[in-house]
Amino acid sequence: MADQSLLFSRIVTDLPETVPFVPPEELERKTGVKIRLRLGANESSFGMSPLAREAMANSLGENHLYGDALSFDLKEELAARHGIGKEMITVAGGIDELLGWIARVFLNPGEPVTASLGSYPTFHYHVAGFGGRLHQVPYRKGKNDLDALADTARHTGSRIVYLANPDNPTGTWFTADELKEFRRQLPADCLLLLDEAYIEFAPEKAHFPVDPADPGVIRTRTFSKAHGMAGLRVGYAFAHREIITAFDKIRNHFGVSRIAQTGALAALKDEGFVRQVVREVAAGRREYEAVAKTLGFTAYPSATNFVAIDTGDANRAAAIREALWQRGVFIRIPGVAPLNRCLRVSVGTPAERQEFVRILREVVQEL
Ligand SMILES: *Cc1c(COP(=O)(O)O)cnc(C)c1O
Protein backbone atom coordinates (compact mmCIF):
# COMPACT_ATOMS: atom_id res chain seq x y z
CA MET A 1 0.00 0.00 0.00
CA ALA A 2 1.17 3.50 -0.78
CA ASP A 3 2.40 5.58 2.11
CA GLN A 4 -0.33 8.21 2.46
CA SER A 5 2.10 10.68 3.96
CA LEU A 6 3.93 10.82 0.63
CA LEU A 7 0.93 12.72 -0.67
CA PHE A 8 1.29 15.50 1.86
CA SER A 9 3.27 18.68 1.26
CA ARG A 10 6.73 18.87 2.78
CA ILE A 11 5.50 21.48 5.23
CA VAL A 12 2.65 19.32 6.49
CA THR A 13 4.79 16.18 6.61
CA ASP A 14 7.22 17.97 8.91
CA LEU A 15 4.57 19.31 11.30
CA PRO A 16 4.30 17.67 14.73
CA GLU A 17 1.19 15.65 15.50
CA THR A 18 -0.14 18.01 18.13
CA VAL A 19 -3.52 19.58 18.65
CA PRO A 20 -2.92 23.20 19.69
CA PHE A 21 -6.15 23.66 21.61
CA VAL A 22 -7.89 20.93 23.56
CA PRO A 23 -11.41 22.32 23.93
CA PRO A 24 -13.10 22.16 27.33
CA GLU A 25 -15.77 19.90 25.80
CA GLU A 26 -13.08 17.32 25.04
CA LEU A 27 -11.67 17.60 28.56
CA GLU A 28 -15.17 16.86 29.85
CA ARG A 29 -15.54 13.83 27.58
CA LYS A 30 -12.09 12.51 28.50
CA THR A 31 -12.36 12.92 32.28
CA GLY A 32 -16.09 12.51 32.86
CA VAL A 33 -16.11 15.85 34.73
CA LYS A 34 -19.03 18.16 34.07
CA ILE A 35 -17.97 21.82 33.93
CA ARG A 36 -20.00 24.13 36.15
CA LEU A 37 -17.73 27.16 36.06
CA ARG A 38 -16.28 27.80 32.61
CA LEU A 39 -13.58 30.39 33.29
CA GLY A 40 -10.69 29.06 31.22
CA ALA A 41 -11.16 30.45 27.71
CA ASN A 42 -11.73 34.16 28.31
CA GLU A 43 -15.23 33.89 26.93
CA SER A 44 -17.56 36.60 28.16
CA SER A 45 -19.80 35.58 31.04
CA PHE A 46 -21.84 38.68 30.29
CA GLY A 47 -23.15 37.42 26.97
CA MET A 48 -23.93 39.72 24.09
CA SER A 49 -25.93 42.86 23.50
CA PRO A 50 -29.70 42.27 23.55
CA LEU A 51 -29.83 44.37 20.37
CA ALA A 52 -27.47 41.95 18.64
CA ARG A 53 -29.53 39.02 19.83
CA GLU A 54 -32.70 40.60 18.51
CA ALA A 55 -31.16 41.50 15.15
CA MET A 56 -29.93 37.94 14.69
CA ALA A 57 -33.25 36.41 15.77
CA ASN A 58 -35.03 38.59 13.22
CA SER A 59 -32.67 37.46 10.47
CA LEU A 60 -32.85 33.71 11.10
CA GLY A 61 -35.05 33.30 8.05
CA GLU A 62 -32.31 34.67 5.78
CA ASN A 63 -29.87 31.87 6.40
CA HIS A 64 -30.49 30.29 3.00
CA LEU A 65 -28.58 33.30 1.61
CA TYR A 66 -24.83 33.75 1.66
CA GLY A 67 -23.49 36.62 3.69
CA ASP A 68 -22.24 39.71 1.88
CA ALA A 69 -18.76 38.60 0.78
CA LEU A 70 -17.56 42.19 1.23
CA SER A 71 -19.15 42.66 4.69
CA PHE A 72 -20.01 46.09 3.34
CA ASP A 73 -22.31 47.37 6.09
CA LEU A 74 -20.11 46.11 8.90
CA LYS A 75 -17.00 47.66 7.36
CA GLU A 76 -18.82 50.92 6.78
CA GLU A 77 -19.81 51.09 10.44
CA LEU A 78 -16.29 50.22 11.61
CA ALA A 79 -14.81 52.82 9.25
CA ALA A 80 -17.13 55.53 10.55
CA ARG A 81 -16.40 54.66 14.17
CA HIS A 82 -12.65 54.68 13.74
CA GLY A 83 -12.44 57.58 11.32
CA ILE A 84 -10.67 55.56 8.62
CA GLY A 85 -11.52 54.45 5.09
CA LYS A 86 -13.30 51.14 4.42
CA GLU A 87 -10.38 50.14 2.22
CA MET A 88 -8.29 49.83 5.39
CA ILE A 89 -10.55 47.18 6.94
CA THR A 90 -11.04 43.48 6.41
CA VAL A 91 -13.55 41.22 8.17
CA ALA A 92 -12.85 37.55 8.95
CA GLY A 93 -14.05 34.58 10.98
CA GLY A 94 -12.28 35.83 14.09
CA ILE A 95 -8.71 36.89 14.74
CA ASP A 96 -7.64 33.27 14.58
CA GLU A 97 -8.50 33.23 10.88
CA LEU A 98 -6.77 36.57 10.31
CA LEU A 99 -3.57 35.23 11.85
CA GLY A 100 -3.59 32.51 9.20
CA TRP A 101 -4.07 35.04 6.40
CA ILE A 102 -1.21 37.14 7.72
CA ALA A 103 1.20 34.18 7.87
CA ARG A 104 0.15 33.20 4.34
CA VAL A 105 0.43 36.67 2.86
CA PHE A 106 3.75 37.67 4.42
CA LEU A 107 5.81 34.49 4.82
CA ASN A 108 7.77 32.45 2.35
CA PRO A 109 8.63 28.95 3.63
CA GLY A 110 11.62 29.11 5.93
CA GLU A 111 11.29 32.79 6.76
CA PRO A 112 11.53 33.92 10.38
CA VAL A 113 9.03 35.61 12.68
CA THR A 114 9.36 36.72 16.31
CA ALA A 115 6.93 36.42 19.23
CA SER A 116 7.06 36.05 23.00
CA LEU A 117 7.67 32.59 24.42
CA GLY A 118 4.29 31.42 25.71
CA SER A 119 2.25 34.07 23.92
CA TYR A 120 -1.06 33.40 22.13
CA PRO A 121 -0.40 30.09 20.35
CA THR A 122 -2.62 30.39 17.28
CA PHE A 123 -0.18 32.73 15.55
CA HIS A 124 2.64 30.21 16.12
CA TYR A 125 0.39 27.48 14.78
CA HIS A 126 -0.28 29.31 11.52
CA VAL A 127 3.38 30.25 11.12
CA ALA A 128 4.27 26.56 11.35
CA GLY A 129 1.44 25.70 8.95
CA PHE A 130 2.87 27.99 6.28
CA GLY A 131 6.44 26.82 6.82
CA GLY A 132 7.72 29.84 8.76
CA ARG A 133 10.31 29.73 11.52
CA LEU A 134 9.38 31.06 14.92
CA HIS A 135 11.88 32.82 17.18
CA GLN A 136 10.67 33.19 20.74
CA VAL A 137 11.64 35.76 23.34
CA PRO A 138 11.01 35.08 27.05
CA TYR A 139 8.67 37.35 28.98
CA ARG A 140 10.46 39.64 31.39
CA LYS A 141 8.99 40.42 34.81
CA GLY A 142 5.62 39.18 33.61
CA LYS A 143 5.50 41.40 30.53
CA ASN A 144 6.44 41.17 26.87
CA ASP A 145 10.08 42.27 26.59
CA LEU A 146 9.81 44.91 23.86
CA ASP A 147 13.55 45.61 23.60
CA ALA A 148 14.39 41.93 23.29
CA LEU A 149 11.57 41.38 20.77
CA ALA A 150 12.91 44.21 18.60
CA ASP A 151 16.50 42.92 18.96
CA THR A 152 15.48 39.42 17.96
CA ALA A 153 13.44 40.71 15.03
CA ARG A 154 16.50 42.63 13.84
CA HIS A 155 19.13 39.95 14.17
CA THR A 156 16.94 37.15 12.75
CA GLY A 157 15.64 39.29 9.88
CA SER A 158 12.08 38.54 10.96
CA ARG A 159 9.26 39.32 8.55
CA ILE A 160 6.69 39.71 11.36
CA VAL A 161 6.71 40.49 15.07
CA TYR A 162 3.60 39.38 16.93
CA LEU A 163 2.52 41.33 20.02
CA ALA A 164 -0.82 41.18 21.81
CA ASN A 165 -1.77 44.46 23.50
CA PRO A 166 -3.28 43.92 26.03
CA ASP A 167 -1.53 40.59 26.30
CA ASN A 168 -2.77 37.04 26.64
CA PRO A 169 -1.89 35.13 28.85
CA THR A 170 -0.51 37.82 31.20
CA GLY A 171 -3.22 40.50 30.81
CA THR A 172 -0.54 43.22 30.88
CA TRP A 173 -0.40 46.13 28.44
CA PHE A 174 1.74 48.91 27.00
CA THR A 175 0.93 52.53 26.23
CA ALA A 176 0.70 53.80 22.66
CA ASP A 177 3.92 55.75 23.27
CA GLU A 178 5.79 52.61 24.29
CA LEU A 179 4.43 50.84 21.21
CA LYS A 180 5.45 53.69 18.92
CA GLU A 181 8.98 53.45 20.28
CA PHE A 182 8.88 49.67 19.73
CA ARG A 183 7.67 50.22 16.17
CA ARG A 184 10.61 52.58 15.55
CA GLN A 185 13.05 49.91 16.71
CA LEU A 186 11.81 47.35 14.18
CA PRO A 187 13.52 46.95 10.81
CA ALA A 188 11.72 48.64 7.92
CA ASP A 189 10.79 45.33 6.31
CA CYS A 190 9.38 43.78 9.49
CA LEU A 191 5.63 43.91 10.03
CA LEU A 192 4.24 44.70 13.49
CA LEU A 193 1.25 42.43 14.08
CA LEU A 194 -0.62 44.03 16.94
CA ASP A 195 -3.31 41.70 18.29
CA GLU A 196 -5.90 43.88 20.03
CA ALA A 197 -8.35 41.14 21.05
CA TYR A 198 -8.84 42.83 24.44
CA ILE A 199 -8.46 46.48 23.46
CA GLU A 200 -11.98 47.40 24.64
CA PHE A 201 -10.91 46.61 28.20
CA ALA A 202 -7.77 48.75 28.03
CA PRO A 203 -7.33 52.39 29.02
CA GLU A 204 -7.41 54.98 26.26
CA LYS A 205 -3.64 55.48 26.36
CA ALA A 206 -3.09 51.84 25.31
CA HIS A 207 -4.79 52.53 21.95
CA PHE A 208 -2.16 52.64 19.21
CA PRO A 209 -3.21 55.29 16.69
CA VAL A 210 -4.24 54.22 13.19
CA ASP A 211 -1.92 55.61 10.53
CA PRO A 212 -3.38 55.06 7.05
CA ALA A 213 0.02 55.70 5.47
CA ASP A 214 1.89 53.07 7.53
CA PRO A 215 2.17 49.74 5.67
CA GLY A 216 4.12 48.23 8.57
CA VAL A 217 1.36 47.63 11.14
CA ILE A 218 -1.66 45.33 11.18
CA ARG A 219 -4.08 45.50 14.09
CA THR A 220 -6.51 42.65 14.71
CA ARG A 221 -9.70 42.90 16.72
CA THR A 222 -12.62 40.68 17.58
CA PHE A 223 -16.25 40.41 18.64
CA SER A 224 -15.34 37.37 20.76
CA LYS A 225 -14.30 39.06 23.99
CA ALA A 226 -15.91 42.35 25.11
CA HIS A 227 -18.84 41.84 22.71
CA GLY A 228 -19.39 38.30 24.00
CA MET A 229 -19.78 36.62 20.59
CA ALA A 230 -16.96 34.07 20.54
CA GLY A 231 -19.14 31.33 19.08
CA LEU A 232 -20.27 33.51 16.19
CA ARG A 233 -16.75 33.92 14.75
CA VAL A 234 -16.26 37.54 13.65
CA GLY A 235 -13.11 39.60 13.80
CA TYR A 236 -11.55 42.37 11.76
CA ALA A 237 -8.24 44.02 10.99
CA PHE A 238 -7.03 47.54 10.29
CA ALA A 239 -4.12 47.78 7.89
CA HIS A 240 -2.73 49.67 4.92
CA ARG A 241 -5.04 49.37 1.90
CA GLU A 242 -2.52 47.31 -0.04
CA ILE A 243 -2.46 44.73 2.74
CA ILE A 244 -6.25 44.56 2.68
CA THR A 245 -6.09 44.02 -1.09
CA ALA A 246 -3.60 41.21 -0.54
CA PHE A 247 -6.00 39.52 1.90
CA ASP A 248 -8.69 39.69 -0.78
CA LYS A 249 -6.51 37.48 -2.98
CA ILE A 250 -6.44 34.60 -0.53
CA ARG A 251 -9.32 34.89 1.93
CA ASN A 252 -12.39 32.70 2.28
CA HIS A 253 -14.88 35.11 0.76
CA PHE A 254 -18.01 33.63 2.30
CA GLY A 255 -16.33 32.76 5.59
CA VAL A 256 -18.27 35.28 7.69
CA SER A 257 -21.85 34.11 7.87
CA ARG A 258 -24.79 36.37 7.21
CA ILE A 259 -26.04 36.07 10.77
CA ALA A 260 -22.60 36.85 12.15
CA GLN A 261 -22.42 40.05 10.11
CA THR A 262 -25.90 41.04 11.28
CA GLY A 263 -25.07 40.38 14.92
CA ALA A 264 -21.72 42.15 14.80
CA LEU A 265 -23.22 45.24 13.19
CA ALA A 266 -25.93 45.49 15.84
CA ALA A 267 -23.40 44.86 18.62
CA LEU A 268 -21.19 47.72 17.43
CA LYS A 269 -24.06 50.14 17.76
CA ASP A 270 -24.78 49.13 21.35
CA GLU A 271 -21.96 51.08 22.97
CA GLY A 272 -23.71 51.22 26.32
CA PHE A 273 -23.67 47.44 26.56
CA VAL A 274 -19.93 47.17 26.00
CA ARG A 275 -19.26 50.00 28.45
CA GLN A 276 -21.21 48.13 31.10
CA VAL A 277 -19.36 44.88 30.42
CA VAL A 278 -16.03 46.70 30.68
CA ARG A 279 -17.07 48.26 34.02
CA GLU A 280 -18.30 44.96 35.41
CA VAL A 281 -15.13 43.17 34.31
CA ALA A 282 -12.95 45.83 35.94
CA ALA A 283 -14.83 45.28 39.22
CA GLY A 284 -14.33 41.53 38.86
CA ARG A 285 -10.62 41.93 38.26
CA ARG A 286 -10.30 43.92 41.47
CA GLU A 287 -12.06 41.11 43.35
CA TYR A 288 -9.68 38.50 41.95
CA GLU A 289 -6.68 40.70 42.78
CA ALA A 290 -7.84 41.07 46.37
CA VAL A 291 -8.45 37.35 46.75
CA ALA A 292 -5.06 36.51 45.25
CA LYS A 293 -3.47 38.70 47.89
CA THR A 294 -5.29 37.05 50.80
CA LEU A 295 -4.08 33.67 49.52
CA GLY A 296 -0.48 34.88 49.40
CA PHE A 297 -0.44 35.01 45.59
CA THR A 298 0.08 37.97 43.27
CA ALA A 299 -2.18 38.94 40.39
CA TYR A 300 -0.60 40.44 37.28
CA PRO A 301 -2.07 43.87 36.52
CA SER A 302 -4.64 43.14 33.81
CA ALA A 303 -6.41 45.20 31.15
CA THR A 304 -8.37 42.21 29.83
CA ASN A 305 -11.33 40.06 30.88
CA PHE A 306 -9.11 37.65 32.81
CA VAL A 307 -6.50 37.74 35.54
CA ALA A 308 -3.28 35.74 35.70
CA ILE A 309 -2.71 34.82 39.33
CA ASP A 310 0.90 33.94 40.11
CA THR A 311 1.03 31.15 42.70
CA GLY A 312 4.82 31.30 42.83
CA ASP A 313 5.32 27.67 41.83
CA ALA A 314 4.45 25.65 38.70
CA ASN A 315 3.72 22.44 40.61
CA ARG A 316 1.42 24.27 42.97
CA ALA A 317 -0.40 25.88 40.05
CA ALA A 318 -0.84 22.50 38.37
CA ALA A 319 -2.17 20.94 41.57
CA ILE A 320 -4.64 23.79 42.05
CA ARG A 321 -5.86 23.53 38.49
CA GLU A 322 -6.39 19.78 38.83
CA ALA A 323 -8.27 20.17 42.12
CA LEU A 324 -10.41 22.93 40.61
CA TRP A 325 -11.15 20.72 37.62
CA GLN A 326 -12.26 17.87 39.88
CA ARG A 327 -14.81 20.31 41.30
CA GLY A 328 -16.01 21.29 37.84
CA VAL A 329 -14.06 24.53 37.56
CA PHE A 330 -12.35 25.09 34.21
CA ILE A 331 -9.40 27.50 34.18
CA ARG A 332 -6.13 27.39 32.25
CA ILE A 333 -2.44 27.58 33.05
CA PRO A 334 -0.09 29.18 30.50
CA GLY A 335 1.99 26.46 28.88
CA VAL A 336 5.50 27.86 29.27
CA ALA A 337 7.72 28.68 32.27
CA PRO A 338 7.78 31.00 34.15
CA LEU A 339 4.16 31.83 33.31
CA ASN A 340 3.13 28.27 34.18
CA ARG A 341 3.10 29.32 37.84
CA CYS A 342 -0.05 31.28 37.01
CA LEU A 343 -3.73 30.45 37.09
CA ARG A 344 -5.43 32.28 34.22
CA VAL A 345 -9.02 32.92 35.24
CA SER A 346 -11.71 34.68 33.21
CA VAL A 347 -13.76 37.29 35.05
CA GLY A 348 -17.18 35.74 35.57
CA THR A 349 -20.49 37.23 36.65
CA PRO A 350 -20.74 38.23 40.33
CA ALA A 351 -22.34 34.87 41.14
CA GLU A 352 -19.67 32.95 39.23
CA ARG A 353 -16.91 34.91 40.92
CA GLN A 354 -18.32 34.23 44.35
CA GLU A 355 -18.52 30.52 43.59
CA PHE A 356 -15.03 30.49 42.09
CA VAL A 357 -13.48 32.27 45.04
CA ARG A 358 -15.20 29.92 47.50
CA ILE A 359 -13.89 26.85 45.69
CA LEU A 360 -10.41 28.32 45.17
CA ARG A 361 -10.06 29.05 48.88
CA GLU A 362 -11.17 25.50 49.69
CA VAL A 363 -8.70 23.99 47.23
CA VAL A 364 -5.74 26.11 48.37
CA GLN A 365 -6.47 25.27 52.00
CA GLU A 366 -6.58 21.55 51.28
CA LEU A 367 -3.33 21.43 49.32
C1 LIG B 1 -9.17 35.21 22.24
C2 LIG B 1 -8.00 35.67 21.47
C3 LIG B 1 -8.00 35.63 20.08
C4 LIG B 1 -9.08 34.93 19.30
O5 LIG B 1 -9.97 35.78 18.75
P6 LIG B 1 -11.11 35.22 17.80
O7 LIG B 1 -11.58 36.44 17.13
O8 LIG B 1 -12.14 34.55 18.65
O9 LIG B 1 -10.47 34.25 16.83
C10 LIG B 1 -6.93 36.19 19.42
N11 LIG B 1 -5.90 36.72 20.07
C12 LIG B 1 -5.85 36.74 21.41
C13 LIG B 1 -4.67 37.35 22.10
C14 LIG B 1 -6.89 36.20 22.15
O15 LIG B 1 -6.81 36.15 23.48
My answer on whether 210 and 116 are in the same domain is: yes
Note the pTM of the prediction, 2 decimals: 0.96
| 195, 230 Cβ separation under 8 angstroms | no
120 in ligand 1 pocket by Cβ < 6 Å?
yes
96 in ligand 1 pocket by Cβ < 6 Å?
yes
Angle at 216 between CA 212 and CA 219, to 5 degrees: 70
My answer on whether 258 and 342 are in the same domain is: no
My answer on whether 163 and 55 are in the same domain is: yes
My answer on whether 107 and 242 are in the same domain is: yes
Distance CA 95, CA 315 (A): 32
My answer on whether 180 and 245 are in the same domain is: yes
Q: For residues 355, 359, 361 and 366, what is the CA-based torsion angle, rounded to 10 degrees?
A: 170
The helix/strand/coil state of 87 is helix
My answer on whether 337 and 224 are in the same domain is: no
My answer on whether 144 and 35 are in the same domain is: no
157-187 residue pLDDT tens: 999 999 999 999 999 999 999 999 999 999 9
182 in ligand 1 pocket by Cβ < 6 Å?
no
125 in ligand 1 pocket by Cβ < 6 Å?
no
| 15, 129 Cβ separation under 8 angstroms | yes
The residue out of 270, 286, 319 marking a domain boundary is 270
Atom of ligand 1 nearest to the CA of 97: 9
My answer on whether 159 and 202 are in the same domain is: yes
Average pLDDT of the residues of the chain: 96
Q: Which amino acid makes up residue 56?
A: M
What's the CATH code of the domain at 321? 3.90.1150.10
Strand order in the sheet with 298-299: 298-299, 306-310, 342-346
Can you state the percent helix, strand and coil of the chain, rounding each to 5? 45, 15, 40
My answer on whether 67 and 15 are in the same domain is: no
222 in ligand 1 pocket by Cβ < 6 Å?
yes
Nearest to 75 by CA among 61, 57, 87: 87
| 68, 61 Cβ separation under 8 angstroms | no
Ligand 1 pocket mutation pick from 102, 116, 125, 225 by most atoms within 8 angstroms of CB:
225
Is pLDDT at 212 greater than 80 in this prediction? Answer: yes
42 in ligand 1 pocket by Cβ < 6 Å?
yes
235 in ligand 1 pocket by Cβ < 6 Å?
yes
Q: How far is the CA of 6 from the centre of ligand 1 (A)?
A: 34
Angle between helices 95-106 and 121-129 (to 10 degrees): 40
271-304 residue pLDDT tens: 999 999 999 999 999 999 999 999 999 999 999 9
The residue out of 244, 270, 296 marking a domain boundary is 270
Containing structural domain, residue 205: 50-270
* Average pLDDT, integer, range 56-78: 97
My answer on whether 304 and 357 are in the same domain is: yes
My answer on whether 187 and 307 are in the same domain is: no
> In terms of DSSP H, where are the helices of 218-295?
241-250, 258-269, 271-294
Atom of ligand 1 nearest to the CA of 120: 13
My answer on whether 80 and 186 are in the same domain is: yes
41 in ligand 1 pocket by Cβ < 6 Å?
no
Nearest to 130 by CA among 160, 158, 100: 100
